[in-house]
Structure 1
Amino acid sequence: MAEQQEQAAPDAVMTRIGQVVMLHHGGDREEARGRFLDLWAEIGEAGDPLHRCMLAHYMADTQDDPSDELAWDLRALSAADELTDGRVAEHHQSLAVRAFYPSLHLNLAADYVKLNRSEAARSHLRRARGAVGALGDDPYGDGVRAAIGRLELRLAAEDGTSAQESRPFDGPGGETLGPPRQRP
């Protein structure tokens, strides 16, 4: 008899979040925002941290007001802090919670830039840079690293320093990283 591998049942809430993300990426921002709000009402403030993290992360992108975007990104970070690798692995075996942090902190840095709060932006940008070691050497990781580099350059231009001067270190082991790469 052939061995059968047991696979986790699909997560209906994550599927629904993904569907709304596709709707948003298709250009229907208002409808996506409404559906995300409906899902948030179902999940609730005390719901599954993975669901809250993902929904808040994507909900932030549908906001018109930078303060609202910040509030949703803070919710995503708070939910990530409650996550375990075990719960994340139930959704996708190759993911770990620590891989969420570069993007979450990058988004917060960008929010603070929009709100003209450059010190808060720099703080989250340092956290994003410090967490990039958790990213894979793949298009997603390359894109996040490139976006961090672009925001570092923007902030450095605003305060008259070089991007290298604004970084606490370059790589996780202190090695110097090359110039920011563009998204593929």
Structure 2
Amino acid sequence: MRGHQEVPTGGPAPADDAMTSRIGQVVMLLHAGDREEARHRFTALWAELGEQGDPLHRCTVAHYLADTQDDPEDELAWDLRALRAAEAVDAERAGGGGQAGQVRGFYPSLHLNLAASYARVGEERLARSHLGLARKACGALAEDAYGDGVRAAVGRLELRLTGSGQLP
């Protein structure tokens, strides 16, 4: 997990399949603190999936692969890949069910991570824009520990970026 990660662990679970299990194993490795090995394994999974792989898997791998990056620009690039993959899930599975419904719960975290990444690279306008999108997307979160954690992280980043806790 990023040392500066804004979002708690957890979140919507992708459909249960072999790739999801493999991704989950690497997520556990990451959460156990082995960022380098997790980065290596996530990179291998990304290469295996390719640009045409299942977009929900690509979203999940890119989302967590961003957490393994040392360079803020690399982290931002992976956060952007995760968002593009989530948008591909929505485009392929419009109608609200299945994976499109699952990915909706990722958007608050995806936009929050993008806001934090943009802030780290000095892009304040883009950081605030994605923070506003994260705040709006929080309506898709359940009233549970994960949802509470994401909403709290949005509030903390708002305080850090604006000093007021609310976006202008």
TM-score, normalised to structure 1, is 0.77
The answer for the alignment partner of 2:99 in structure 1 is 88
Matched, 1:163 2:165: yes
Q: Secondary structure at the match of 1:59?
A: helix
Give the C-alpha shift of residue 131 in structure 1: 1.0
Query: Any conservation in 1 of the 2:118–2:126 contact (CA below 8 Å)?
Result: yes
Give the C-alpha shift of residue 163 in structure 1: 2.4
**Mapping for residues 9-158 of structure 1, pairs under 5 Å:** 10-83=16-89, 84=93, 85-88=96-99, 96-157=102-163
**Gaps (5+ residues) in structure 1?**
1-8, 90-94, 168-184
User: Which residue identity lines up with residue 88 of structure 1 in the other structure?
Assistant: Q
Query: Any conservation in 2 of the 1:50–1:87 contact (CA below 8 Å)?
Result: no
| Moved >4 Å (runs of 4+) | none
C-alpha root-mean-square deviation of aligned residues, in Å? 1.6
What is the number of equivalent residue pairs in this alignment?
149
Identical columns (%)? 68
Q: Deviations over 1:12-38 (max 9, x none)?
A: 111111100111111111111001111
Report 1 or 2 for greater relative contact order, CA contacts < 8 Å, sequence distance ≥ 6. 2
TM-score, normalised to structure 2, is 0.84
Q: Deviations over 1:62-115 (max 9, x none)?
A: 0000000011110100000011344427xxxxx533221111000000001111
Partner Cα separation in structure 2 for residue 10 and residue 139 of structure 1: 22
Partner Cα separation in structure 2 for residue 21 and residue 47 of structure 1: 19
Larger radius of gyration: 1
Partner Cα separation in structure 2 for residue 22 and residue 126 of structure 1: 30
**Gaps (5+ residues) in structure 2?**
1-14
